[in-house]
Each structure stands twice: as C-alpha cells, then as structure tokens.
C-alpha cells in the first residue's frame, strides 16, 4: 500500500511538472509575441518622430528665410 501511495505521489508530481512546463511555454510565446508587436510599434513611432523632425526643420528654414 505504501508503494502505491509513493507511485501516486510521483505521478502527481510529474503531472504538475508537465503543467508548469506547458504554462511556461505559453508565457514565453506570449512574451515573444508582445516583444515583436512592441518592436513594430516602436519603429512606427520612430518613423513618425523622424518625419516630424524633418517638418520642423523645414518650417524653421522657412521662417528663417522669410518664405511663405
């Protein structure tokens, strides 16, 4: 009977480890996905900032040279 309890505990531990591994993999996949989306968003914002900088520089040149 003790052997049966020990086997049941071992199986239970193994099942918990398997569930933890699956959950870890889900978290890692989500993290990778989030990081990829964050990279896309950062690149979009960076492009917008660069575009705005060019517009501001052109505006400053226009003001400095008294052009309409």
**Measured at the alpha carbon of residue 36, what is the angle toward residues 50 and 24, in degrees to the nearest 5?**
155
Cα dihedral sign for 17, 21, 26, 32?
positive
Residue 68, pLDDT > 60, answer: no
CA atoms of 9 and 2, how far apart (whole Å): 11
pLDDT for res 15? 94
* pTM given for the model: 0.67
Tokens found for residue 62: 């226009």
Each residue of 9-65: pLDDT tens digit? 999 999 999 999 999 999 999 999 999 999 999 999 999 999 999 999 999 998 888
């Amino acid at each position: 009977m003790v052997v049966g309890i020990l086997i049941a505990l071992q199986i239970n531990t193994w099942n918990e480890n398997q569930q933890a591994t699956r959950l870890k993999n889900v978290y890692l996949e989500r993290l990778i996905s989030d990081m990829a989306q964050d990279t896309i968003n950062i690149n979009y914002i960076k492009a917008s900032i660069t575009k705005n900088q060019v517009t501001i520089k052109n505006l400053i040149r226009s003001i400095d040279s008294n052009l309409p």
